[in-house]
Amino acid sequence: MSKKIVVIAAGGTGGHLFPAAAFAEEMFRRGWRVFLMTDARGRRYAEGFPAERIDDVPAASIGANPFKAVPAAFKIMRGIDAAKKRFKEQPPALVAGFGGYPSFPALMAARAQKIPILIHEQNSVLGRVNRAMAGSAAVVACGFERLDRLPVSAASRKHVVGNPVRSPILAVRERPYRKRQPAGGSIC
């Protein structure tokens, strides 16, 4: 039997990718194949990301400027199409979104193909992409008990799990701080 695939959708900043990397480590430990789907900007933070494969898909943020919104919408549609194509080539059992606008194409493709979605919100306020996808998610995992802007329809699927922490950070957690020596005499 082949291993299940989880596609982790994240990007934009390290704040989305670092917890996603900790989740990836755990999924590898559990015997899953792990792929990361992000965009070119997100890839800058993906060096050393524990994934068998990293796919870049077009993504954009739609802001208030109407002249930029139309090209951004077309870019997002290209990203959704690219994600759908990759999912048909190697179907994931789960798509886990960790936020940031680069996660949107993969999550939309998963929803269209009826692939289960998990989202994780690292903050106490649900971000725009996670808020948009919460209603479609099988699980809304979060770092804090308080989770503002969670749609009422998703409240029963909310699970407080904390924020995933990467193993190199956990490894130094128990190490004591070095005692600081005063420079040039006593401190008064």
For residue range 30-83, list pLDDT tens digits in order: 999 999 999 998 988 888 999 999 999 999 999 889 899 999 999 999 999 999
Distance CA 122, CA 152 (A): 19
Output the CA–CA distances (angstroms, integers) from residue 7 to 33, 78, 92, in the order listed.
9, 18, 6
Which residue, chain included where needed, has tokens 């770092």?
143
**Window from 3-12, 33-42, 60-69, 168-177 with minimum mean pLDDT:** 168-177
In 3D space, the residue among 109, 141, 113 whose CA is nearest the CA of residue 126 turns out to be 141
Q: pLDDT at position 12, please?
A: 80
Determine the length of the chain: 188
Q: Is the pLDDT of residue 186 over 70?
A: no
Reply yes or no on whether the pLDDT at 185 is more than 70. Answer: no
Helix intervals (H) in 32-122? 40-43, 66-89, 104-112
Given pLDDT bands bounded at 50, 70 and 90, which one contains residue 169? Answer: confident
pTM passes above 0.85: yes
What is the per-residue pLDDT for 187? 54
Confidence of residue 184 (pLDDT cuts 50, 70, 90): low
Could you tell me the fold of the domain covering 5-173? Answer: Rossmann fold (3.40.50)
Locate the domains of the chain by residue range.
5-173
CA 56 to chain centre: 14
Residues 117 and 111: beta-carbon distance below 8 Å: yes
Average pLDDT over residues 117-142: 97
Judged against a pLDDT cut of 80, whether residue 4 lies above it is answered with: yes
Model confidence at 160: pLDDT above 70: yes
Judged against a pLDDT cut of 70, whether residue 157 lies above it is answered with: yes
Residue 103 above 90 pLDDT? yes
Residue in the structure block whose two tokens are 């799990």: 161
| Mean predicted lDDT score pLDDT of the chain | 93
Buried b / exposed e along 15-45 (16+ C-beta atoms within 10 A): bbbbbbbbbbbebbeeebbbbbbbbebbbeb
Average pLDDT estimate for 16-41: 96
pLDDT number for residue 80 = 98
